[in-house]
Amino acid sequence: MRTDSPEREIDGVVIRIDRLLCVGFESCAAIAPEVFRLDANGLAEFASAPACPRERLLEACRSCPVDALTALDGNGGQIAP
């Protein structure tokens, strides 16, 4: 796995953070702080909690103004943004 695009499976959804696209808008962390936070450089990273309601998780991915967050279903199909 590339370190600039970490991913994690949460509630059957694979979430990928493209840290090369991230500009630190922070909407993901505001919507789902148990999943996302900003690191010391102001870029999105995964927080320690592995759970979040699915709809809020997808909302956090859709909220990114630069599409740095991607949500994939179990078959690898993109479901957000």
- The tens place of each residue's pLDDT in the chain, 81 residues long, gives 456 788 999 989 999 999 999 999 999 999 999 999 999 999 999 998 778 899 999 999 999 999 999 999 989 999 999
Q: Which pLDDT does position 1 carry in this prediction?
A: 43
CA distance 55 to 16: 16
Which residues does residue 69 pair with via DSSP β-bridges, in sequence order? Answer: 17
Task: Report whether 36 contacts 60 (CB < 8 A).
Answer: yes
Q: Which pLDDT does position 3 carry in this prediction?
A: 65
> Where do the domains of the chain lie, and which CATH numbers do they carry?
7-75 (3.30.70.20)
CA distance 11 to 4: 23
